[in-house]
Structure 1
Amino acid sequence: MKNLILSFVSAGILFSCGKAKKEEAVAEVTQEEVKETLAPVSDAIMENAVIYEANIRQYSEEGSFKAFTKDIPELRKLGVKILWIMPIYPISTTKSKGSLGSYYAISDYTKVNPEFGTIEDFRELVKTAHDNGIYVILDWVANHTGWDHTWLKEHPEYYTKDEAGNITHTVDTDWTDVADLNYDNQEMREQMKKDMIYWLKEEGVDGFRCDVAGMVPVDFWDATVAELKKIKPVFMLAEGWEPELLENAFDMGYGWDTHHKMNDIAQGKADAKEWDKRMVQIDTMYAKDDILMNFTSNHDENSWNGTVQERMGDAAAMFAALSYVAPGMPLIYSGQEYDMDKRLLFFEKDTIIKKKGKFFPLYEKLGKLKNNNPALHGGKNAASYTRIKTSDDNKVLVFKREKDNNTIVFVSNMTKEPVKFTAEFEGKFKDYLSEEELESKLGQEYELDSWQYMILIKE
């Protein structure tokens, strides 16, 4: 982060040379201790978790479970507590796109794609994740199957049909490589539930990320997840923004509109006031215990809409930090920790170059703060969020998060030009990233460079 430029006024900022207030020590947990203490997923885990999306095919040159498993300890360094694995099932070849096809065109819900390895390899991945204190959720595709799925021949009644009686792909989409499932068929619903249960009971996964969850009837999710929870506690992520998905079945949904605001601000199409409107919208639309996932990228955004650098440019680090300190749970997509600046191919083999640069140490520090400071709790008992008024709320975003006598203040310039401003907060703080100590007073004038930000921990 660039050095902070400060303009002193009569109530100027005072830097203390004294010793910072001793922070609460967090003991290093050995891997053996984790093995003994890993508990079922819970609401408490959700409060301070970081989630990681794993693209097995593109993560390594081998594109295998084994290659990914080797790096799971690296994810632990980033504070990752939930590992979302993109679909691992065999891919249909009929009507497939590209030479390898889409992960989301599944031919069998209870087997693994031999492209990635064996079921024994997957079991080792799950075990290694659990040994490192990380829960595993599988990407589940309930809206459609690939055209090679056995249901097409054995149970054509499971699928949506056109007026001529032909099975169709999902209406109003270009998803021609998949066949749309008919949720009016109760037998299909029951089999779908049984296939999900297999992964919980037989393979030890801890929940699911459910693809296009809003395109599947809510009553299916509500009834099915209730049955899953009778087996073990689960973490459920919906690829959807609809509040009704979070009423019963799902713990977390996508913060799509939050993400879009980030892109718009980075591109100069919106200002900090638009962020404020989004925070009000969340309070209006969602219940207090609903969780939204914050992200600057994911597999869809990267492949179809552009890399973080393409969409956010020099603002990328600031928005990465914002995704951690804002209410919700932050996501890291495969490769972001290695400064990935390319659109990964979706239907072909590609490879992430794993070379640490700017973002690995940044995510490492942000993850530690998220894991350990209650002021960043973002689960069902989240820390409070309060917008702090500044002299230029169109360009500057300042807010505080508070919980259990812990306070964090986030200060950022949301423009590409330097900005001077005052902000209505005071106290003694430690700048988390620079480790500088400072005392702020009302009327203090600040000057921040383009996209510059501070994460201030109140002493």
Structure 2
Amino acid sequence: MRGAIAAALAASLAGCSMNNAGGGKVEGEPVASAAPTDAAAVKDGAAEPVDEQPGTVYYEIFVRSFYDASGDGIGDLNGVTAKLDYLQQLGVGGIWLMPVNPSPSYHGYDVTDYRAVNPDYGTLEDLKKLTDEAHKRGIKVIMDLVVNHTSTEHPWFKEAIANPDSKYRSWYHFAGADEDAKADGAVGSNPWHVSADGKSKYLGVFWEGMPDLNFDNADVRQELVSVGQYWLEQGLDGFRLDAAKHIYGDYASTINSPEIQGANQKWWQEFRSGLSGVKPDAYLVGEVWDSPVVIAPYLDKALDSAFDFDLAGKLISSADRERDSDLAFTLGKAYGLYEKSSGGTYVDAPFLSNHDQTRVMTALNGNLAHARMAAAMLLTLPGNPFIYYGEELGMAGAKPDEYLREPMVWYASPEGGEGQTSWEPSKYNAAGSAVSVESEQQNDQSLLAWYRMLLKWRSEEPALRDGGIAAYSLKNAVPQVSAYVRATADERVLVLHNLSGQPQKAELAEEFGTFAKLSRKSDNAAELSGSVVTLPPYSSVILK
């Protein structure tokens, strides 16, 4: 979102009125408008124009688990290409590929060649085919880029170990085997590891198999900018940037210091600048697992987005407790920081879970209604929401990490079928369960159908897709109902979610003018009578 903080929205929309008639229609379908949006009324008298930031829903894919086109049980790039129609029908506008570079591990976050494709997944031509076919469907493709560290199997590191005089020695951090070194690693353990020959030790914050690169070395920085340029030239649309705050953030005692945070910010600004000559609009979303105060500087001429980890916890908690958590107010505070840092160019990146976190369905103890409402809140918020593969089905999963990344379940039969991956046995998502693409596609009440409905709403309502957000207070206090306004310069809508299992009545206020029409509703029993909206259990409506 660009310039879409709550205060600006409130100023620009206060007193505006819409004169559309009320009514209802088929579940999940739009209701015809009785009058066009009064764009002039929305714009006139605004203390500040409501700027817009086009939003895209992204879908995170662990290629190994997604779909197997080669028949070896391992998902591959051609398998993703084969399922682009599924993703298009779901309604996403972008995909994030978890690491596809060669790696000795199953997950790929320890890279051995930055300019190649993991042979388990296919070839560079397969990746180009995937991006070409995705673009034909209006789907962007970004990939994980892991620059904080390499694998110990990377040729750079192997040469640095074998030859202390190699130029690559200075590409990493080495110390004498008996030399004192800070032991308070930023992720909780001693970050120093003795080399195989016992003659030295090296820095690896996350794991001994992932030695950290030395970004004080200009050659390292230049090479990694070049790597980013290379992949953009292959047709990719941007990157998800792993461990973005750990480029210089190696120690718990210093990671939050101004010096370290400033060094991280400076690197990502250098990276962004280096990419601009190849693809000025490359999308960069960073993993900065921290508070908005820490995230904000990364949005200054560097990242477009950082994943909203705080919001993810709030969405899950709100759905679980069946209580409103005042999302717009919380986001308004964060957006104020982001606005100041970025000059209005930031885009939020909300999500519910990812490959490092307990899956949504497990976090919600298998409660399908709560999963529906978590999704409803996520997909009616600003920015670029991210969906973790299988989330739309209700796949479950908990640590260790392998069980967060189980094979995507395509078939209802325990025998599976063509393309079903089998690289690891599934603990939480057994084949033959009700949670599968095949079974849910046949059920218009499934979680998959719910996600498709919400994504359809988002694609067809510009204010949901591109607009800002402002808090909305109902006349009657209903803690089970989440309410907020979404607005572009030309229109605004009111979003209401009944998070509870009981019907609720929400009495509308006049803070943003009159909302006189039920535009979308997830349940046909939802009604608008005068200024009172009747919300069935676990339902969502959009008013204009």
Report TM bin, short chain: 0.7 to 0.9
CA distance in 1, matches of 2:315, 2:304: 23
Match of 1:63 among 72, 75, 79: 75
**Aligned partner of 1:264 among 317, 322, 347:** 317
- 1:198 is matched by which residue type in structure 2? Y
* Mapping 1:204-353, distance limit 5 Å: 204-216=235-247, 217-232=264-279, 233-240=281-288, 242-268=295-321, 271-273=323-325, 275=327, 277-287=329-339, 288-302=344-358, 307=362, 309-310=364-365, 314-343=369-398, 346-347=401-402, 350-353=406-409
Quick one: distance in 2 between partners of 1:415 and 1:438? 17
Q: Deviations over 1:95-130 (max 9, x none)?
A: xxxxx4432111111111111122222221111111
Secondary structure of 1:184's partner? Answer: coil
Q: TM-score, normalised by structure 1?
A: 0.80
State the SS of the aligned residue for 2:357: helix
* Residue pair 2:316, 2:363 contacting (<8 A) in 1 also: no
- Is 1:49 the counterpart of 2:64? The answer is no
SS of 2:316's equivalent in the other structure is helix
What does 1:15-54 align with in structure 2 at a 5 Å threshold?
Answer: 20-21=32-33, 47-54=54-61
Whole-angstrom CA distance in 2 between matches of 1:295 and 1:311: 18
Given that 2:66 and 2:408 are in contact with CA atoms closer than 8 Å, whether structure 1 keeps it comes out as: yes
Q: CA RMSD in A?
A: 3.1
Q: Do the aligned residues in 2 keep the contact of 1:296 with 1:308 (CA within 8 Å)?
A: no
> Which of these residues, 196, 213, 218, is aligned with residue 181 of structure 1?
213
1:456 aligns with 2:542: yes
Residue in structure 1 matched with residue 122 of structure 2 by the alignment: 117
Letter in 1 for 2:102: P
Alignment of 1:388-427 (within 5 A): 388-415=473-500, 419-424=504-509, 426-427=515-516
- Partner SS for 1:408: strand
Can you give the 5+ residue segments of structure 2 that lack an aligned partner in the other structure?
Answer: 1-20, 26-30, 37-50, 68-72, 160-167, 180-199, 248-263, 411-435, 441-445
User: For each residue in 1:383-415, what CA deviation from the matched residue of structure 2 results, as whole angstroms up to 9, or x when unmatched?
Assistant: 342423342253321112122443322112334
Q: Which is richer in strand?
A: 1
For 2:540 and 2:402, locate their aligned partners in 1 and report how far apart those are by CA, in whole Å: 40
- Conserved in 2, the CA contact under 8 Å of 1:271 and 1:414? yes
* Aligned partners of 1:266 and 1:311 also within 8 Å: no
1:208–1:313 Cα change, 3 Å: same
Asked which structure has the greater CA Rg, the reply is: 2
Counterpart residue number, 2:520: 431
Change (3 A) 1:428 1:436: farther
Using the TM superposition, give the Cα deviation of residue 259 of structure 1 relative to its aligned residue in structure 2, in angstroms: 0.5
Gap change, CA 1:327 and 1:393, over 3 Å in 2: farther
CA displacement at 1:88 relative to structure 2: 0.3
Offset from partner CA, 1:169-220 (integer Å, 9 cap, x none) = 11xx4x233111121111111111111211112x211111101112222211
Provide TM-score, normalisation by structure 2.
0.68
Q: How far off its partner does 1:139 sit?
A: 0.4
- Counterpart CA distance in 2 for 1:414 and 1:427 is 22
What is the alpha-carbon distance in structure 1 between the residues aligned to residue 449 and residue 482 of structure 2? Answer: 24
Which residue of structure 2 aligns with residue 126 of structure 1?
Answer: 131
Other structure's SS at 1:297 match: coil
Which residue is 2:173 aligned to?
160
C-alpha displacement at 1:430, in angstroms?
A: 2.7
Q: Which runs of 5+ in 1 are unaligned?
A: 1-12, 25-43, 93-99
- Residue 313 of structure 1, CA deviation: 5.3
Distance of 2:123 and 2:470 partners within structure 1: 46
Shift of 1:21: 2.8
Amino-acid identity (%):
25
Aligned residue for 1:88? Answer: 100
Give 2:99's aligned amino acid. Answer: P
CA contact (8 A) 1:77 1:364 kept: yes
